[in-house]
Chain A
């Protein structure tokens, strides 16, 4: 009888951007059921936190609107107002003034982090006898593990608690024992070499700052600042399917030619070049072309209009909304007229559609949070609010887009699909961008990560493990969802670090000078020369050649779980990498296949939870029980965590 049942297990994976959690392990493992943005809002009382922004709503228009920003309102004491017309309402969308307790993987604000975990726990609302498995970020120190242990046992009175390293969890998800995990997060990348289920602590790249999804947003922002794009727009552009990293050497559409000096590996380009291949593209296929979506309306808007429109928020805040709405209405009319003329059946897919990488311009829908906040601050009544929203929303036929957008959101990891209410409040606007959308990775981020991977693997002490580690890269994390990122990273690695078989070892240049060229009779054919330590008695030339290339010749991946199948069994060792490959994601998790394996750490944690809590009935000491905690205190956790 296992100590816990499947439905009595909580898995929590905190992240800088999104915290994943789930109560109960389903028959077939699913992506996390609960996704919560990793942020809290300071409550009225210092040191306490609220999961949603609390905003003061006033039904009467007040004298001094607009200037008051959200924070000032939050701080205002109700006592001073004292009137009945102040109602506090939860604003589930706004993120103004939020505190993000995890920065670059590190917990920077512990009270806030604990509040977040409590919120997650309450959201799950578990029964009393529930075990908890927490995924830990690599940058958390042992002391912090103890702190967490203490918190979980004392706050939630959990009967059992376990910690699992995020990188290790990823290997569990993939079912491999040796792999290099490249976890691209929000503001950082962690790179861990895991061999035989043991993460290498030395030389692990922890929290390589400025190399996560944020870096891409920053780059886009930098490139598009002149066009009036703000950070928020860039963030959403990054998540939209039109933003991608093109394989190196691919010409930007419109520019006509590739950078001449770039030398690409033709094989790599072939494998990554096709936009319509690969899982990312496959996922996007379902979203993009359906209905009059963003991608189908190419070039119907001119850029000039956009520039004027961008700062709607300030227009609204400035009280000129009505004028603007009238203008907007007119534009809409014009547009529909144009559409009617131009494309009689807008719902059908256009027969000839260029792939994204060939188009110079593309549009996407942008959810204007700033505008929404500004609207709220103008203190409209409910009806006025709804009207304004409807008027400003450019999203095509609300109902249809609702479904489509939330689907796109899932695929692109906005992580806001948590509650239906939170979605309906958005105001969508259409934006158009040029080729800048392909330049998200142009800032050296890829090279930075590639170099870090090289360092991480080079610091693995067991030299003969390295080639295997190079052959089993796992690129995960939501920062890696950017289309084309994985392929581009692989290509960068290949063009910079791959060791090609040296021509010197192919019998051409290294025939020792004391041997003459073989004669036709075979008389002068080189004989095996044994040095005093020449070893196994093979032809030294053959030996040299095979040492350099043995990794290439060995078949890989036939049985990755079979231990002891070392690829580089020579006592001496060659340079690595001679080949670079990624691990294929497992195929037996249908629910995960659709959304991608970027959050595979969570999947791995479910597998591990099943194993440590249920299958082996607590034999493996993979978790700490309440009595253990009472005996040993928080320090004891180090004996139990995976």
Chain B
């Protein structure tokens, strides 16, 4: 029902008569979010992982990547530096996320909507008959598009974004904005420090009056995936080793005693799914583990300090059951796996995973970011610390962050702004984009198709700062 409450979108009249129905696209390492501007949640959230079979065809979407099929490699289009690496896949996946849930495929046969085309063949044929069929090939020609980018995006990558939008999708107008700024907007702030702990990267972005201080942007690979890796290592080094069996391998499980070996029936496959598929499915189990077991040591002090570890040991453990029925209770280990985010020396290491650098930890990132800001602006920033990203949902994460920041910058004015609702925390950048793109006054900022045609892709450097 449409009784207005805090979470309903404003009515048409309230935001300067927005009639453009812009699309906001917020690609992340774990999921790619897309939706219409002016709405409060992205309508389309699809995994950034995709399947690629031997025959080079792409498979997108939740349903496709979770079905155990042989010869299917699960991949991600992001590079290890937090910049899009595989542009072909990225373009297709973004297009899928928009057309599958928002606009619908263009009328007509699926052979023409670009999703099923071989990239090379498509490019060639387009050159030949550009004029005649152009309109049928472009999926988004009536929606302006706002795309988010990480704060450290390269100039080349930024030009690539606008090229995809203008050339491949035929959008009428385009804009590129940094996730940090948008996350701040989502919390109603124009200035602040944005701590974004995602899946692949943690970033700290100082924002002043809606502008990112580029020098101050800090990033590190200690984020959700790092915690997963720590959990894996905990499992591996436990004695006896804790088996990590994803759901798809298990046919049925039976109850066993805590710590006892699993007693389950397993499935067999004619063609075993690939290792990358298994890795992605294991991640599902680890996510569940993070949600229900892992806890950040809330302070005071670090986990390894003094008697803290002893206290943690005597705290009640949390039980966890694996898909194959193995279960046990986790005591102090559950604090340990997330400690590396704050204290590099506490991270579990192995040969493949050396000790993370000290300056990668979240407190040091914040410190480095604040260092780049004029001294008189620092209190303003520290009074607006916006916490966002899916990995900040780890239990007690904010308590610890609060403690760490107060330890570096003792003040009573430091303030963490962490939206209580999970949706707002996870999709803050998208929500900010949704707000921005639906503002009447934003319309003059769009880069129109005409401007693009006049100035070329480099216009994005001038206009989107």
B63 touches A642 (CB 8 A): no
Provide the residues of chain B in CB contact with A532, threshold 8 Å: 300, 311
Give the contacts of A85-113 with B (CB-CB under 8 A).
110
Which chain B positions have C-beta within 8 A of A197? 1
Instruction: Let me know if B1 and A620 touch, CB within 8 A.
Output: yes
> Which listed segment binds B: A327-335, A361-369, A426-434, A567-575?
A567-575
A451 with B288, Cβ < 8 A, contacts A548-B319, A575-B320 known: no
Q: Which residues of B contact A642 (CB under 8 A)?
A: 1
Assess the B265–A261 pair: CB atoms within 8 A: yes
Of A202, A452, A462, A504, the residue contacting B258 (CB under 8 A) is A504
A455 in contact with B316 (CB, 8 Å): no
Bound form: Cα–Cα A635–B107 in Å: 18
Residues of B within 8 Å of A, CB-based: how many? 66
Q: Assuming A452-B63, A533-B298, is B314 touching A514 (CB within 8 A)?
A: yes
B2 touches A621 (CB 8 A): yes
Interface 9-mer from B174-182, B249-257, B372-380: B249-257
Contacts A263-B265, A455-B66 given; indicate if A509 touches B314 (C-beta within 8 A).
no
Chain B proximity of A447: nearest CB distance (Å): 8
Q: Which interface class (under 10, 10 to 19, 20 to 34, 35 or more) fits A? A: 35 or more
Shortest Cβ distance from residue A180 to the other chain B in the assembled complex, whole angstroms = 16
Asked whether A531 and B312 contact (CB < 8 A) given A504-B258, A544-B318, the answer is yes
State whether the Cβ of A201 lies closer than 8 Å to any Cβ in chain B: yes
**Chain A residues with CB below 8 A from B251, complex form:** 447, 495-496
Contact of B104 among A143, A461, A543, A547 (CB under 8 A): A143
**Chain A residues with CB below 8 A from B292, complex form:** 463, 572-575
Q: Is the CB of A502 within 8 A of B319?
A: yes
Question: Which residues in chain B, 297-320, are within 8 Å of chain A measured between CB atoms?
Answer: 298, 300, 311-320
Nearest-CB distance from A354 to chain B (Å)?
28
Interface membership of A205, Cβ < 8 A: yes
Q: Which chain A residues border B265 with CB–CB below 8 Å?
A: 261-263
Which B residues touch A463, using CB under 8 A? 291-292
Q: Which listed residue, B12, B66, B327, B426, touches A639 by the CB 8 Å rule? A: B12
- Give CA–CA (A635, B317) in the complex, Å: 52
Q: Is A121 an interface residue (CB 8 A)?
A: no
Q: B258–A512 contact, CB under 8 A?
A: no
What residue of chain A has the Cβ atom nearest to residue B295's Cβ?
A572
A621 and B12 alpha carbons, distance in the complex (Å): 14
Min Cβ gap B20→A in Å is 10
Judged by a CB distance under 8 angstroms, whether B212 is at the interface is no
A203 touches B45 (CB 8 A): yes
Are the CB atoms of B422 and A454 closer together than 8 Å?
no
Interface residues of A in 131-165 (CB under 8 A from B): 140-144
Question: Are the CB atoms of B257 and A451 closer together than 8 Å?
Answer: no
CB-nearest residue of chain A to B3: A620
Find the A residue at minimum CB distance from B36: A142
Q: Are B423 and A541 in contact (CB under 8 A)?
A: no
Contact B63 A547 (CB under 8 A): no
When the two chains form their complex, are residues A205 and B43 in contact, meaning their CB atoms are under 8 A apart? no
B67 proximal to A (CB < 8 A): yes
Nearest A residue (CB) for B21: A635
Give a binary string over A523-542; 1 marks a CB under 8 Å from any B CB, 0 the rest.
Answer: 00000010111100000110
Q: Does A300 contact B (CB under 8 A)?
A: no
Alpha-carbon separation in the docked complex, A181 to B38 (Å): 28
Within 8 A of A (CB), among B63-87: 63, 66-67
- Residue B284 at the chain A interface, CB threshold 8 Å: yes
Say whether A458 contacts B288, CB under 8 Å. Answer: yes
Decide if B2 touches A575 in the complex (CB within 8 Å): no
Contact across chains for B103 and A141 when beta carbons are under 8 A apart? yes
Residues of A within 8 A of B1 (CB): 197, 620-622, 642
Within 8 A of B (CB), among A466-507: 495-497, 499-500, 502-505
Asked if A640 is an interface residue, CB under 8 A from chain B, the answer is yes
Interface hub of B3, B36, B319, B323 (most chain A Cβ within 10 A): B319
Query: Using Cβ atoms and an 8 Å threshold, which residues of chain A touch B329?
Result: 502, 504-505, 509-510, 544
Give A206 to B288 CA distance when docked, in angstroms. Answer: 22
A455 in contact with B255 given A141-B101, A144-B104, A575-B320 (CB within 8 Å): no
B11, CB-defined interface residue at 8 Å: yes
Complex Cα distance, B11 from A375, in Å, reads 61
* Most chain B CB atoms below 10 A, which of A140, A262, A496, A636: A496
- CB of B395 within 8 Å of the partner chain: yes
A632 at the interface (CB under 8 A from B): yes
Name the one of B101, B252, B423 contacting A263, with C-beta atoms under 8 angstroms: B252
Q: Are A502 and B321 CB-contacts (below 8 A) given A141-B104, A143-B103, A451-B247?
A: yes
Q: Which residue from chain A places its CB closest to the CB of B328 in the assembled complex?
A: A504
Q: Is B248 among interface residues, defined by CB-CB distance under 8 A?
A: yes
Residue B259 at the chain A interface, CB threshold 8 Å:
yes
Give chain A nearest CB distance to B420 CB in angstroms.
11
Name B265-305 residues within 8 Å CB distance of A.
265, 284, 287-288, 291-292, 295, 298, 300
Does B368 lie at the interface of the complex (its beta carbon under 8 Å from any beta carbon of A)? no
Q: In angstroms, how far is the closest chain A Cβ from the Cβ of B318?
A: 7
Shortest Cβ distance from B211 into chain A, in angstroms? 31
Instruction: Give CA–CA (A503, B329) in the complex, Å.
Output: 9
CA distance A620 to B2 in the complex (A): 6
Is B19 an interface residue, CB under 8 A from the partner?
Answer: yes
Measured CB to CB, the nearest residue on chain A to B11 is A639
B45 neighbours in A (Cβ, 8 Å): 201-203
Cβ of B222 within 8 Å of any chain A Cβ, yes or no, is no
Task: Evaluate contact between B321 and A201: CB separation under 8 angstroms.
Answer: no
Q: Which residue of B lies closest to A456 (CB)?
A: B62
Residues of A with C-beta under 8 A to B315: 531, 533-534, 540
Q: What CA separation (Å) do A463 and B421 show in the bound complex? A: 11
- Check B42 for interface membership: any CB of A closer than 8 A: yes
Q: Which among B43, B62, B295 is the interface contact of A203 at CB below 8 angstroms?
A: B62
Residues of B close to A208: CB separation below 8 A:
63
Q: Which of B9, B101, B314 contacts A531 (CB 8 A)?
A: B314
Closest chain A CB from B242 CB (angstroms): 13
User: Is A448 engaged at the interface, CB distance under 8 Å to the other chain?
Assistant: yes
CB pair A205–B62 under 8 Å, yes or no, is yes
Residues of B within 8 A of A635 (CB): 19, 21
A412 in the interface (beta carbon within 8 A) = no
Within 8 A of B (CB), among A584-629: 620-622
Given A143-B104, A202-B41, A503 and B311 contact (CB-CB distance below 8 Å): no
In the complex, B418 has a CB within 8 A of chain A: no
Q: Which of B225-248 contact A (CB under 8 A)?
A: 247-248
Partner of B248, one of A201, A451, A543: A451
Note all chain B residues with C-beta closer than 8 A to A632.
12
* Nearest CB of B to A625, in Å: 14
Chain B residues near A462 (CB, 8 Å)? Answer: 422
How many angstroms between the C-alpha atoms of A194 and B358 in the bound complex?
44
CA distance A497 to B11 in the complex (A): 42
Q: Is B102 an interface residue (CB 8 A)?
A: yes
Question: What is the CA–CA distance of A61 and B9 in the complex, to the nearest angstrom?
Answer: 68
- Chain B residues lying within 8 Å of A261, measured Cβ to Cβ, are 265
Is there a chain B Cβ closer than 8 Å to A171's Cβ? no
Q: A142-B103, A509-B329 are in contact. List 11 more A-B contacts (CB 8 A).
A: A141-B99, A142-B102, A208-B63, A495-B252, A505-B329, A533-B396, A540-B314, A544-B319, A547-B316, A575-B320, A632-B12
Between A and B, 15 residue pairs with Cβ closer than 8 Å are: A451-B248, A452-B63, A461-B422, A499-B327, A502-B319, A502-B327, A509-B329, A533-B396, A543-B316, A572-B318, A573-B291, A575-B292, A575-B319, A620-B2, A621-B1
Q: Which residue numbers of B lie inside 8 Å of A, CB to CB?
A: 1-3, 9, 11-12, 19, 21, 36, 41-45, 62-63, 66-67, 99-104, 107, 247-248, 250-255, 257-259, 265, 284, 287-288, 291-292, 295, 298, 300, 311-321, 323, 325, 327-329, 395-396, 422-423, 426
